[in-house]
Amino acid sequence: MEYSSPTSLLLCPPIDLIQNVEKDAGSDSSSFVFDSTHHRNQASIPRQFVWPASERSGASNELQAPVVDLDGFFRGDRASTELAAELVRSACTDHGFFQVVNHGVSPSLVADALATAEEFFKLPLVHKLRACRKPRSMWGYTGAHSDRFSSKLPWKETLSFANDGMASQSVIPDYLIANLGTEFHRMGKVYERYCKAMEDLSLSIMELLGISLGVDRSHFREFFSDGSSIMRCNNYPQCQEPELTLGTGPHCDPTSITILLQQGDVDGLEVFTGGGWRLVRPMSGALVVNIGDTFMALSNGRYKSCLHRAVVNRIRERRSLAFFLCPREDRVVRPPGCLVEQGEARKYPDFTWAELFDFTQTQYRADTRTLQTFAQWLLSSNTPSSRRLCSG
């Protein structure tokens, strides 16, 4: 079986190439640089951003997304917890997507996190590239993922941070100061606090997911208590031909769950359900939660990894903040015995997050079939996971 392999483009463009980016936006891909300030004002988009017609955005109806109120759950109210668990169960067996309100994350922290992202993405490209992401790293800046791919590029730029569960609390401020300067200390502190809030919330959601699946409520919380995470700031610039491209292509997140903060007044997120794409409008005070491939494996396929994408806008830019919860790198992903009924086959082989992450970085571009393709690859290769039995 062949796997789509990422094509290396330009890991950290030289300064002279950045300064000459306006010469020929459609030149050879080996010298392509995405400068959001430049490209958003062009009448036509570079060919690297044009997606196949079958994958482009069309008219989408709005999804009436389930909204889970966490207030009663946090207070220990049994009736409220049962209602929340039922809403989660229904959503996750259908499309793997829901929203949470009364989640306990400070509105002022949310505002600060969005504001500091805006400040960063408005910097000139030459300054943003001081934090250029290195190969196979989850740290740093990238424009349109052109460091990994040469076609079907997403119309976006990102800044990412990672936490392996063992890092010191000052790791984000230290990274930003080292790469961008001391004036970014405040930004680092904001994301340090935001990531801590997301970590706490994600563990609570894991507890609620356990309840909804009929598993001991502490099972998944404990499984992820020493886990890792990825924090990604997304910026989707204005695009003069939004009908030809996508901000993020159709995919399922390979991680466990994603907690997404949408900018409050710009549409962009779409979820595939009921045979078509549905728009998820930003909801004041709400955070979007979706199931990823790793948790689908942990639930033995009972909960669906959410298929989603992001579209772009001709008039407005859009920002979002995505927090991805992952297990510890060496922890074996295996569903609890109670989710594998007697005589029921395991849907996926045992694997570690390190194996899945490496697969998505070196073997396969995340899409609609990442987990299935990964499982086939494991079973056909001489990896430790391929030698593990797929029994309950």
Looking at residue 33, its pLDDT comes to 81
Q: What percent of the chain has pLDDT over 90?
A: 62
- Backbone dihedral angles phi then psi of residue 282, each to the nearest 5 degrees: -60, 140
Instruction: Compare 213 and 5 and report the one with higher pLDDT.
Output: 213
- Measured distance CA(94)–CA(303) in Å, rounded: 8
Token representation of residue 44? 């036509």
Known active-site residue 318 = yes
**Is position 120 within any domain?**
yes
171 located within any domain: yes
Residue 366 pLDDT: 81
- Quick one: what percent of the chain has pLDDT higher than 70? 86
Q: Where are the beta strands (DSSP E) in 188-227?
A: none
Residue 344 confidence (pLDDT): 78
Residues 6+ apart with CB under 8 A from 310: 154, 156, 234, 236, 246, 247, 248, 268, 269, 270, 320
Confidence at residue 384, expressed as pLDDT on a 0 to 100 scale: 59
* pLDDT at residue number 170: 83
pLDDT of residue 343: 67
Report if residue 378 sits inside a domain: no
CATH number at residue 266: 2.60.120.330
Predicted confidence at residue 166, as pLDDT, reads 59
Say if 277 falls within a structural domain.
yes
Question: Domain tally for the chain?
Answer: 1
In a domain, 104, yes or no: yes
Contact call for residues 259 and 302 (beta carbons, < 8 A): no
In tens, the pLDDT along 25-66 reads 333 444 568 888 888 888 888 898 999 888 877 767 888 889
Average pLDDT over residues 318-329: 96
Q: Among the listed ranges 120-124, 146-150, 323-327, which one has the minimum average pLDDT value?
A: 146-150
Q: Over the stretch 164-215, which tens digit does the pLDDT of each residue have? A: 765 566 899 999 999 999 999 999 999 999 999 999 999 999 999 999 999 9
Average pLDDT on 286-313 reads 95
Is the pLDDT at 10 greater than 50? The verdict is no
**Stretch (H or E) spanning 250:** strand 248-252
Render pLDDT for 210-235 as a digit per residue (tens, 0 to 9).
999 999 999 999 999 999 999 999 99
Predicted local distance difference test score (pLDDT) of residue 150? 75
For residues 369-388, give the mean pLDDT: 76
Which of 108-122, 132-146, 329-343 has the least mean pLDDT? 132-146
Does residue 346 fall inside a structural domain?
Answer: no
pLDDT on residue 387: 44
Active-site residue identified among 318, 334, 346, 365: 318
Does residue 27 fall inside a structural domain?
Answer: no
Is 52 a member of any domain? no
- Per residue in 354-368, pLDDT tens? 999 989 888 888 888
Q: What is residue 171's three-state secondary structure?
A: helix
Q: pLDDT at residue 116 above 60?
A: yes
Range of the domain at 169: 60-332
